[in-house]
């Protein structure tokens, strides 16, 4: 796939919009409880109907991860998970999965591997997009160009405090979709969707038609339905990571993961955007 043609992510969001359906983006920490088990979880998420699979590379010094994801990363690192190992795991599971795979990482592991080597290995593994959480838009040009040359989408993070000009920059440089966080602070399960999320979605819609996914604090079907009224997809991370933490050592882990995804999708279609 070359730049200018639809990626697997583009095709997914076009299908969602045509069907008037809210997409579900699921986040897991790769290597929790082990890399082979993470591969099984990704297969289960895909079979259960997750629209995009976001795979987190465990990192020792996270910025925005809440308690559930921090603990998952700690377990994964203790089990020996690395960026190289995560890419090898994705390569092994890619043929079994229809959904796009987005790698969620920090800049440091990418820099240590080397940008060119990272882009080549990610593309060879079947990764569709990359979100480097702590890389500012102003410094992302090399990453974006190198990934695009390999047919990979660069996805940018937006927050309620992101200026309109930076939203425009993210839309101009980014591909696939924009990832908006519903509130400032760290990830984690919440009772309700933050009020800032809708306002952020409105500001994004005012400057770009690029698909928008909203995350942070979304863990229930009513949250997914609410987000779907003004965004293309909801991102669920901590709630799913909590399920994996609770059942990771049990034989029914994959059934529990699938049941959680099916429950999240049980509220029906979204309102037109």
Q: Which residues are catalytic?
A: 54, 65
Nearest partner of 110 among 132, 78, 79, 81, judged by Cα: 132
Query: In the numeric block, which tokens belong to residue 191?
Result: 């009772």
**What Å distances lie between residue 218 and 30, 117, 177, 230, 267, CA to CA?**
20, 34, 18, 14, 14
Contact call for residues 205 and 273 (beta carbons, < 8 A): yes
Query: In the numeric block, which tokens belong to residue 98?
Result: 């229809």
> What is d(CA 42, CA 34) in angstroms, rounded to the nearest whole number?
12
> What is d(CA 10, CA 8) in angstroms, rounded to the nearest whole number?
6
> What is d(CA 125, CA 153) in angstroms, rounded to the nearest whole number?
14
Q: At what angle do helices 35-48 and 83-93 cross, to 10 degrees?
A: 40
Q: Which residue has the tokens 């669920």?
A: 236
Query: In the numeric block, which tokens belong to residue 255?
Result: 């059934």
Task: State the DSSP code for 249.
Answer: T
Task: State the DSSP code for 51.
Answer: S
Task: State the DSSP code for 114.
Answer: -
**Where would I find the beta strands (DSSP E) of the chain?**
23-29, 52-56, 101-105, 129-132, 153-154, 157-158, 178-181, 212-215, 233-236
Length of the chain: 273
């Amino acid at each position: 796939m070359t730049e200018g043609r639809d990626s697997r992510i583009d095709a997914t969001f076009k299908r969602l919009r045509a069907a008037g359906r809210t997409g579900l983006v699921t986040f897991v920490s790769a290597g929790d409880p082990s890399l082979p088990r993470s591969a099984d979880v990704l297969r289960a998420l895909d079979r259960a109907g997750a629209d995009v699979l976001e795979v987190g590379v465990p990192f020792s010094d996270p910025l925005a991860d809440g308690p559930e994801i921090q603990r998952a990363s700690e377990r994964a690192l203790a089990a020996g998970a690395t960026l190289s190992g995560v890419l090898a795991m994705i390569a092994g599971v890619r043929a079994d999965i229809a959904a796009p795979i987005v790698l969620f990482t920090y800049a440091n592991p990418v820099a240590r591997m080397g940008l060119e080597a990272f882009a080549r290995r990610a593309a060879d593994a079947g990764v569709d997009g990359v979100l480097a959480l702590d890389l500012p838009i102003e410094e992302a040009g090399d990453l974006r160009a190198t990934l695009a040359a390999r047919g990979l989408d660069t996805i940018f993070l937006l927050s309620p405090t992101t200026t309109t000009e930076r939203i425009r920059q993210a839309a101009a440089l980014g591909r696939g979709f924009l990832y908006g966080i519903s509130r400032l602070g760290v990830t984690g399960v919440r009772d309700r969707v933050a009020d800032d999320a809708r306002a952020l979605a409105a500001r994004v819609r005012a400057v770009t038609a690029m698909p928008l996914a909203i995350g942070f604090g979304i863990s229930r079907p009513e949250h997914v339905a609410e987000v779907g009224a003004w965004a293309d997809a909801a991102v669920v991370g901590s709630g799913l990571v909590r399920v994996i933490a609770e059942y990771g050592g049990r034989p029914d882990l994959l059934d529990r993961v699938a049941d959680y995804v099916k429950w999240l999708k049980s509220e029906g279609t979204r309102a037109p955007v």
